[in-house]
Structures are given as C-alpha cells and as structure tokens.
Structure 1
C-alpha cells in the first residue's frame, strides 16, 4: 500500500504553452489508446523551454474515465520538465484509492486535497520514462490489467499518477474514474449554462466595427454560437449585444444581423444576464437598493437608420423571447446573505449560487441543484462538475481535456448516487463566465450522452421546479474584495452627478441613459480577473465624468474698471457637449457700489459652441472694489460652473466731477462772453453818445452863425 503524495496539477495554460513549444512526443489520439503504445522517442528540448522550476504531470484516463470490468484500460500520462536541468530516466506509476467517493465533498477533497492530507492507494500500473530535457514534455501510456482494480461496487474512485526518479517522487497528479460494473443509479438529469458575452470594455454599446469583428466567421460570438447552438445548454445572454446590433438599424453589419437572427432561431433555453454582464454582487455590496438597468438609448439612435423613420424604444431594443426570467447569476464565491433582498428588489427571484458557498445540515458542501436559504429558493450549481466541464471545453490538448472529462464522469456519478439516495434530482453545471470561445465542446456533450447515469434536462425545468424544493442549505458569506467594492462605488457615484447635470438638456436621458450603460459595462464580471485593468477602467470612467461636468461653463475673464455709472459686462459661456443646452447666468455683486440690472439671465447655447452674454451694470455714488460673483446654473438651479469672482473697480464719480467741471467751464466761458458783450455794447454806446454829442454841438454852432 502506498500513500499518494500530492503535487499541484499544472494549469491547462501551462500545458498548452508546452505544446506550442513543440515538445509533445505522443500524438493526440494516443491519449486514449486502450493498448500499450510503441516506445516513444527520447524527448528533446523545446524551442521555448517552460522553465518554471518544477516538474509537473497530467493524466488522462481513457474512455472518458469509465472503467468496464474485464476490459483492458490505460491512462495517458504527460510529464513536463520545467526545471533548468534534464530530468533523469525514471518511472510513471498509476495508483488507485479503493474507497468510493461518496459525495461532492469527497470528490473535491480527493482532486484538491488540503495541505498535509494523504490517502491510502495501491499501485495498478506503471511504465518506464526516459530522460526529459529542460523545458520538454514526454507522454507515456500506462496499461492497467483488468484485474488490478480489485473493485466490487459501482461508483467513482480516485486515481493518481506519480513520476519517480531513483525512488523519489518528482510530481503527482490526481484524477478520478468510474467503476462501471452495473447497478448504476437511474440517470440524473443534468442542465448546463453557458454565457454569451464579449471581451470587456467600458463602452456603453458595442461599435459597428466591434460587432463586425465578433460576428465574423472567426469572431468570438460566432465561435460561441457554433459551440452551443441547438445543444443541451442554456444560453445566458448579455443584452448589450442585442441592443448594440438593433440600435444601428440599417447600419448594422450584415454579419451581426445574421448572427442575431441565428440566435433567435436556436432551440436552446435562454435567460438574460445583467446588461454588460454587470456584477450583481458588487452592486449589492456597494449599497445599491436594486440592480442598475439601462434607461434609454436615445443618445445612440438616429431615425434615418430605421425604415419606419421611427426609433425603437428601450424596451424594444432589449426585448427577447427568454425561456426563463428573473434569474440572478452572481459570480461564484461572491454572495453574502444581505444580497438576497437586493435580488428581490431587482425582480430577480431565482438566484443561481455555487455549491462552494452552501453547506448542508452536516456542515458539508451542499449536494443538489436547488435549496432553500431561509425562505429564499435558489438554484445551486455543482462545483466539481462545473470545474470539470469548464476544463473540458477550455483545455487545448487531449491530455488535459481527457483528465477533465474523466473528472466530469466521476462528478456525475457522485451526483447520481446522491439523487438516488435523497430523491433530490438534478445537477446544474455552469461554464466559465469568460468570453473566450471554448476550444471544443464535442467531448463534453459526447460524455454527457455516453454515461448512463446522467441525462440532459432543460434549464427552464430546473427554474420552474426550484420553488418546490424543501432541502435547506446555509450560505457561507463570501463578499467581494473591499477594493473592488470601493472601485464599483466610485463608478456608481458618477450616475447621480450626471443625472443632476443632465437637466441642462431638453432630453436628460441623452446623458442619463449613456451614463448607466457605461457604468453597467464597467461593472462586467470579467473585470474581476483583471484587477489592475479594472482599476484603470474605473478611473477612466470617473475622469470622463469630471470632464463631462466641466463641459458647460463660464470662461475665465479678467478684472475690469468701470468709469461710467452704467455699463454692460460681456461674459463668455462655453458648451462642449454635442447637444444644445439651456442655462441661467447668475450674477451677484459683493456690495452696494454696484447694481446688476438682471441677476438671472436665461441663455441657450448651441452644441459645441461659445456665446458672449452682456450683463447690465449700474454704479452707485461710492467708488471702490466690487467682487462680481458669477454662476452658471441649470434651469432647476443646479450649479454647473462657479469660477472665481470678477473684480470690478468702480470709479463712476469721475463722470459726475467731469460733468460739473465741464459745466463750470461752460458757465465761466458763458459769463466771459456775456461780460465781453456788455463791454462791447457799452463801448459802442459810449462811442455813439460821443458822436451824438459832437453832432449836436456842430448843429448849435451852425445855428449860432
């Protein structure tokens, strides 16, 4: 008897990198051979060695992990040497744990044991391994004699593969098989869920170019639909994709319109994700009373794009013939008990929670596809089966894919045992939320069809039956990271600010509708695996909001001197929005030296324009400094712009003094003129008198003679 020693299972991406490096020494078909292969050539180093400092191993049990008594069986083992030196020749040994895996917890514990946990195993087959150069991989098939298993009871069992060199274990991998000797339980109905999403972005809608790329023959949306259309899997669809195509009307790319028509024709069950696949848990834990939803797409619609000449409503853009409604699918491991009130307030009556967050009455991981958490019925996705199914569609080589398929067969066997003993029938498998198209789904659906202890069922049937469940479960709170919640709050905080600002528009939804769509896209679940990129994205949204809030403002001006008692002060207003706005220019002086003729001046600013507005001013008797406080207001009084006060120097009494001086000068000049005229007249009168006297004297003299 041996105790299997644990080493980490190499991630599929690492195995894929090794394959790309050209270091695989067995053909893909050999991964599932049922007979001993011919000796493989000595491995050689790959062009791009994978030097991660470890030796790792993957194992792929043949026949989808199903062992039939009396039949030859094999396990394909792949060794990757990530050390800097050559791995010496050794052996690969396959071992079996003869304790049946009775439930999901036992299976999960076997596949990913806690540190220090070991299991009692027996060797069932071995093969020699040549030296493996640094950065190379080597594959070998280990044949297991039909009688080596020594099992007598149908069910799932753990298997492991050890790589040993000179008696030392270099690496270990674990998987599982199903001993199929007969007596299998009745087939347990299995439902699958797969997302239809696109790569993350903060865009409110997908652009025409993005849609064209995503729906091209090699596009992500085409690949997703190719993988899942008309197969036993429910499609969880991001409504942003639907709205983005419809909002373009006749301008939508032909490939996008064809893709949407194809989606409408598939036989799959469907339900809606949040717009942009927005993170429900983050919204709830950030303090929203209910889920954010789109309110309008008026900012993106043009009547000329529609044959009817009439733009569709928001409801029409988002409408779909969903087979299930009210489903909330929060990301695995992010739910807390307080979130359930948020779901109900959002009209989401059927949460879908991962089994890793639920425990049964014994304290173990909850088994089953539905449960009651308090008074709330929930759908429950099976962790072990979901992890295995995700690996089966994302793994890029046959070894790792075969390992995932074997583990899926075992998980379904465990679920069938549970259904038979408890009567709680049904297993729910959810695939990865990532938009990356599956590498292949053929093996997954083939396995589901081939194992007699599992059968497919419609997701909508599970949704319809969830309210009749009586199995109780306890939720183990697992909140979103605090940093992520804070970043989500910063994005959500932009919405009320933009709502208030939007009152400058005749149609506030031109801003409000867009801001909500941007926020929802920014809260996409896929950002959770890219924390640095998410931090940048949220910062960009906050900065863009600040720029929008500054787009309608008073342009800074200089101080002025007012030398007359009445004047008009020109104020320049700017509107950088692509829409006309209605504003009010508010002006108030700091003291009584200055009176504003019109405190509030309504103004209409055209889109992307500037305009000069003149404010009438009147100076009072006193001179001095006055601060003229200016504000640009929305019609409802919201302050849009409040620049520093303008300094006005009032010197209006110079006009009075000047007038008085000028008047005095006029009086003086007029007086001088009058005086001169009087003098002139007096002189003329004196001269005339003298002439008269002379004339009289002459006349007297003539008479005397």
Structure 2
C-alpha cells in the first residue's frame, strides 16, 4: 500500500516548492542560458569596483564595459548584476569561478543597455545596496561570487565573473577586525640577459643597452621596482648590470646607476649569465667546478656589485629535481627559487620559505605560488586590470583565511617569468591595491627570505628537460675551463692571459640558450676551440738525438712560448732506463714570443740508449705541452778512456824517443877520437886557425 498525504496537505507542499527552488538558486547560482548566435560579437569587462571591501550597510558600485567588436549592430541588450551570499572558502573555488565554469550568480539588478554599432562600447554602472543580500553582521568574512551577464532577446551573449569582498564589520569602527592576520607577500622578477655569442660579444652589450632604453624590458622592470610604495623586487643577473655599467651608452650607464643606487630597488643576485643549474646537475659536475662556473669572477673586472647586494639566489627553470637543488647549493646560493613541483610534506597552510632535502642536506628553498604569479604577471588571461585585482583580492583573502590554522604566520611569493616586461601603471595599481588591504602585507623579497623556514618540501628525484644542454657538452665546457685555469698559471696574471675565455665557456650554459639549441651548439664548439688554441701556445722544439760521453752533464731542452705574456714553466725529464739519472727539474721564464733552453743536469751510471719523456709543467702542476720524447745515447766512460788512450799514446811516443836517442848513442859506426885525428891530417897547404893563445889581445905589449 502506497503512503498518502492527508487531505489539505498537497496545496501546502506545492506552495513550498517555489521557495525551495529559490533557495537552491541562491545556493548554487543560476545556470547561464544558451548563448545567442552573436555571442562572439559582444564582450564584457569589469571597469571598476568600489569600495574594495563592503559592509552590511554599504553600497557596492560596479561598472562594466560592453563592446560590440563585430560587423553587425547589436540591439536589445540588457546587463544583469549577480551576487551570491555564500562565502568562497577555497582557492579551488576561487579559480573555478574566475574561469567561468559555474554559470552566473543570483541576479540582483538588471539594467538596459544602449544599442551598439560595430566597434562601439557602452558602460553600465550598478549600485547594489548590500543590505538586500541579507548577509547580516553575523555573516562570514571573505569573498562572494559576483557576475555580470549581458543578454539580448535570444539569450546570454556575454558573461564575466568576479568577486565581492565582504566584511561584516565594514563601515564601522570595527572594520577589518574580523579579517584574518595578514599574509606576507613578495613579488619578484628575474632580470636576466640574452644569450651571449662568443663570436659576437658586442651584440650582447648592444642588446642590454637596448633593453635599458625607454620602453625596454629592463627599463620597465626597474620602473616597477622603484615606483609606488609596493614595489617589485628583482633577482638580477650581475653580467647584465656589468655590461650596462661599463657600456659606452649613456642610457645604459644611467639605468645601471639607478639600479645600484642606495635605497633603490630590492635586489637579490643570480649566478652570472643565468647559468642553467639543471644542466650542470645532470652532467655530474663536481661542486668545485660548479662554484667556478657560477663565480662572480666571470663578470668584468672593472665592475663590482654594490656591497649591500648580499642575498644570492638560484632560479632554476620550471620544476627542479634533487640534483638541481644540490647543485644550486654548491653554487653558493643562499636560497633556491622553486617555480613549481615542490610539495609540502605536512597538511595545512604552507609558507613559501622552507627547506627541501637534496644531496644529503636540507637546501633552503623559496616556493613560488603559481596562481598568484600568473595573476600578477597577467599571463594567460584576457582580464582587465580590475578583474585581476578582484581575483587577487579573493585569492589572497582565502590564503589569509587558511592561516587561521595552527600553522602560524605565512609568507607567499609571486614569481614572475623570465623576460616579463610589466605594464608599470597596471602593476603599480595591482600591488598598491593589495598593499592597502588588512590581510596582505606586501614586503621586499629579501625581507621574506629572512623568515625562519617554516615548511618542509619534497621535489622529484630526477626530472630532465629536453631543452637542457646535453651532459657531454656540459662536461666538455667545464673540463676545458678547468684545464684552461690550470694552464693559465704560467702567467703572472692568469686573468690577463685567459681574457674572456672563461666567460665564453660559461655563456653556452645560459638558460637563454634553451630556446635556440642550434646557436648553442655553435657557441659550445667555438668556445672550446678558442680555449684549446690558447693552450697550444707553449711547445717543445724538436731536436736530434743527444750523445752523452761523460758521466754527468746538462741536457738542453728548448721551450717555445707563442703566448702574448711571459710564461713560467718547469721542465721534467723521466728516463725509461735507470742508467741515466735526472738530477734537476729547472723552472725557467720564457719571454713572450721567444724560445729558451732549460738546462737539466743528468748523471750516467751506464752506457746505452735512453729515452726520456719530456714534460713541461705550469706552476699548477699540469702539463702545458703535448707529450714528447728525447733520446740520449749514453756513452759513460768514453771521455775517460779517450783521455787514457791519448795519454798512453803520448807516453809511448816519449819513451820511444828516449830509447831511440840512447840507441843511437851506442852505434858501431860512431867515430872515435883517433879516427877523427887521422882524418884531420891535412894533405895540402895548411892554414892553422889561431888559438886563444895567439889572439892579439892576449899578447903582451
């Protein structure tokens, strides 16, 4: 048996149905009716909402602009203002409503619009008595759904979604007291340079100078960072500032001066040339090489960062993994800006400043709020400034409301994308409006970084982007740079020898090159080739084999220096046979563009042919020439034997001479005294030679 209603009850039930339907409409809003055929030809945008926050007795003024961008006139238009009574309590609900996925709010006011010819616009202003919403003083503080729907005779032609901010104490001395505690909000933008081509470095300087001119990206960023009370913070590539400060362009010089001026922009410092830390991480580069590749020494010597720029940050692209965070820490970054991909380990409201485990340590991170960043940047939306402001007010109000939990004070960071060029008046309007609210405390980025890390985050173990420079090329650049640094110690001033080689070897690892892989590959090849050519500036002159005939002596090794600076090198010989001992490893200075012999003292222990490896070393201990060999024919004792033979020969000749002389003195053919007398008897006339007694002077007078 089916149950039945008592007589007279059915009319009462039917009378309640309309009221229930009305209540349901108030709760969920009214669905948008089917759009007319001309829906794409009419647009509606929010022009103004005043006051920003309303109380129970306030009047909310909402101005919208309706435009006909089509080619045909539009007639019979009407505009309806809708407002919901239920608070929007989650960020997901804020986003869903702003994206237009929930129809329209409950209609409150309906006004006719002027007919619109093609290209014409008209504005409509609603004045809503908030009391008609019947929210009352006990209603919850926070944002409510608000919509403006434009219709013609056939249905809805355009809809916009926005928010009304309600304070039950608004308009009274207690205004704002029911609002949650303020969240700290910092807005920061990266100021990074273009890709530097080692073949045309002047183009980099020119591009920087152009960006500092009127309307240029750098000029607009600096204006946004120094305009108004809620200014933008900047994460600056020091190479850009150095290029502008040392440029011959007066505008660039002036821009650099403004940026570096005390009391000006809030600045954190990035690694020079905006090095792609993810590429370094995935190439397994050592911590020492990471530090060298991201050092401020890469920046021009005639520029130095202001002393107050003491905050260093790393800013990887996208969602960094654990190796990237560890590499950022090795680069000396005090904090790592994480654009996306970080997950808090605990439930509840998360603060931007926290830590994430990576590389065996807790790395300080600053996790950006993607929603706030997109809204402030205005990317991906066609919304008007007022729509952006209302969306931001609603989103930050919900964020502040989440802070009522035991999580405590909360800071959020809105990170702008690389290459962002703000519309300065719009940006100033947005941030000034936010800063004026009780639930938002707009602060400098470097001040937010001073907060105690309040949230532990997790990132992926490994995430590699196809846009990164491949590990082999990264390793080639880093190895070449390390080798060049060791080679350059031959010079009294290594930096004077290497010049811009370090910069050129770092530039291809810039994030800016991610969008041009072909140019990046060319830059890698050119930079490494130039470094290799520089390291070919010292060599060992070829020479014939050397014969060593003594027990000890000096072996000359000729060193050629084709470098533009004097080179200090040590020469080391390593024999392949113990019969030759090397006693010295001399250090010599070879003047630029000349050759000089290094005299190495050696000692022979035995005879034979010995091959010596010749090494020419920089003061750092690395070899600065290709491997070469020297052959020495060791004839130990030849000098002694030769001397002995010569001395023996001379002695024999001397003895032989004496013997011959003696032998001649004893010959049988030698004449005697008698034989001489006989032979001396004259046979002819005789002439007697006077004797000494017959000399006249000896005669007596």
- Normalised to the residue count of structure 2, the TM-score between the two structures is 0.60
TM-superposed CA distance for 1:223, in Å, is 5.0
Name the residue aligned to 1:414. 395
TM-superposed CA distance for 1:660, in Å, is 5.5
TM-superposed CA distance for 1:536, in Å, is 4.6
SS of the equivalent of 1:600 reads coil
Q: Distance in 1 between matches of 2:619 and 2:363?
A: 46
Range 450-459 or range 381-390, more displaced: 450-459
TM-superposed CA distance for 1:550, in Å, is 4.2
Q: Distance in 2 between matches of 1:219 and 1:73?
A: 31
| 1:440 lines up with 2:423 in the alignment | yes
| 1:321 lines up with 2:308 in the alignment | yes
Q: 1:629 aligns with which of 596, 606, 613?
A: 613
Q: Which residues of 2 match residues 249-260 of structure 1 at below 5 A?
A: 254-260=250-256
**Using a 3 Å threshold, how does the CA distance of structure 1 residues 445 and 569 change in structure 2: closer, same or farther?**
same
| 1:200 lines up with 2:199 in the alignment | no
Q: Distance in 2 between matches of 1:564 and 1:3?
A: 111
Name the residue aligned to 1:601. 586
Q: Distance in 1 between matches of 2:160 and 2:594?
A: 70
Name the residue aligned to 1:167. none
SS of the equivalent of 2:195 reads coil
TM-superposed CA distance for 1:419, in Å, is 1.7
Q: 1:225 aligns with which of 222, 227, 236?
A: 222
Name the residue aligned to 1:238. 237
SS of the equivalent of 2:417 reads coil
Q: 1:333 aligns with which of 318, 325, 328?
A: 318
Q: Distance in 2 between matches of 1:199 and 1:238?
A: 11
**Using a 3 Å threshold, how does the CA distance of structure 1 residues 461 and 492 change in structure 2: closer, same or farther?**
closer
TM-superposed CA distance for 1:233, in Å, is 0.5
Q: Which has the higher contact order (CA 8 A, sep 6+)?
A: 1
Q: Distance in 2 between matches of 1:679 and 1:498?
A: 83
Q: Which residues of 2 match residues 67-466 of structure 1 at below 5 A?
A: 72-74=64-66, 103-105=90-92, 154-155=143-144, 177-180=161-164, 190-201=185-196, 210=206, 215=212, 221-222=218-219, 224-231=221-228, 232-242=231-241, 254-265=250-261, 267-280=264-277, 286=284, 288-289=286-287, 292=291, 317-322=304-309, 325-326=310-311, 328-337=313-322, 348-358=333-343, 369-370=352-353, 378-391=365-378, 402=383, 406=387, 409-423=390-404, 427-434=412-419, 438=421, 440-449=423-432, 457-460=442-445, 463=448, 466=451
SS of the equivalent of 1:317 reads coil
TM-superposed CA distance for 1:502, in Å, is 4.8
8 Å contact 2:83–2:146 — kept in the other structure? yes
Q: Deviations over 1:625-680 (max 9, x none)?
A: 33132111234644333523123455789986799599869978997999799889
Q: Distance in 1 between matches of 2:101 and 2:66?
A: 22
Q: Distance in 1 between matches of 2:531 and 2:241?
A: 26
**Using a 3 Å threshold, how does the CA distance of structure 1 residues 478 and 441 change in structure 2: closer, same or farther?**
farther
**Using a 3 Å threshold, how does the CA distance of structure 1 residues 240 and 658 change in structure 2: closer, same or farther?**
same
**Using a 3 Å threshold, how does the CA distance of structure 1 residues 582 and 119 change in structure 2: closer, same or farther?**
same
8 Å contact 1:60–1:76 — kept in the other structure? no
SS of the equivalent of 1:467 reads coil
Q: Deviations over 1:416-440 (max 9, x none)?
A: 2232343466653222223xx7273
Name the residue aligned to 2:47. 63
8 Å contact 1:237–1:272 — kept in the other structure? yes
Name the residue aligned to 1:591. 577
TM-superposed CA distance for 1:528, in Å, is 3.9
8 Å contact 1:575–1:581 — kept in the other structure? yes
Range 234-243 or range 401-410, more displaced: 401-410
8 Å contact 1:337–1:477 — kept in the other structure? yes
SS of the equivalent of 2:558 reads strand
Q: Distance in 2 between matches of 1:191 and 1:175?
A: 32
**Using a 3 Å threshold, how does the CA distance of structure 1 residues 343 and 155 change in structure 2: closer, same or farther?**
farther
TM-superposed CA distance for 1:235, in Å, is 1.9
Q: Deviations over 1:268-318 (max 9, x none)?
A: 32222233333455556646558726778599658xxxxxxxxxxxxx923
Q: Which residues of 2 match residues 624-703 of structure 1 at below 5 A?
A: 624-635=608-619, 637-641=621-625, 643-649=627-633, 693-696=678-681
TM-superposed CA distance for 1:383, in Å, is 0.9
Work out which of the two has the higher radius of gyration on C-alpha atoms and give 1 or 2.
2
Q: 2:568 aligns with which of 578, 582, 590?
A: 582
**Using a 3 Å threshold, how does the CA distance of structure 1 residues 212 and 529 change in structure 2: closer, same or farther?**
closer
Q: Distance in 1 between matches of 2:236 and 2:425?
A: 21
Structure 2 regions of 5+ residues with no counterpart?
1-30, 53-59, 72-78, 108-117, 128-132, 134-141, 151-157, 169-178, 685-701
Q: Distance in 2 between matches of 1:684 and 1:142?
A: 159
Q: Distance in 2 between matches of 1:616 and 1:105?
A: 82
Q: Deviations over 1:112-166 (max 9, x none)?
A: 9xxxxx9676899xxxxxxxxxxxxx9998999999xxxx8955689999xxxxx
SS of the equivalent of 1:198 reads coil
Name the residue aligned to 1:27. none
Structure 1 regions of 5+ residues with no counterpart?
5-35, 41-58, 80-93, 113-117, 125-137, 162-173, 303-315, 700-705
TM-superposed CA distance for 1:688, in Å, is 11
Q: 1:562 aligns with which of 547, 555, 558?
A: 547
Q: Distance in 1 between matches of 2:364 and 2:505?
A: 29
Name the residue aligned to 1:24. none
SS of the equivalent of 2:557 reads strand
8 Å contact 2:488–2:494 — kept in the other structure? yes
SS of the equivalent of 1:526 reads helix
- Normalised to the residue count of structure 1, the TM-score between the two structures is 0.60
Name the residue aligned to 2:10. none
SS of the equivalent of 2:307 reads coil
SS of the equivalent of 2:451 reads helix
8 Å contact 1:65–1:176 — kept in the other structure? no
TM-superposed CA distance for 1:199, in Å, is 1.6
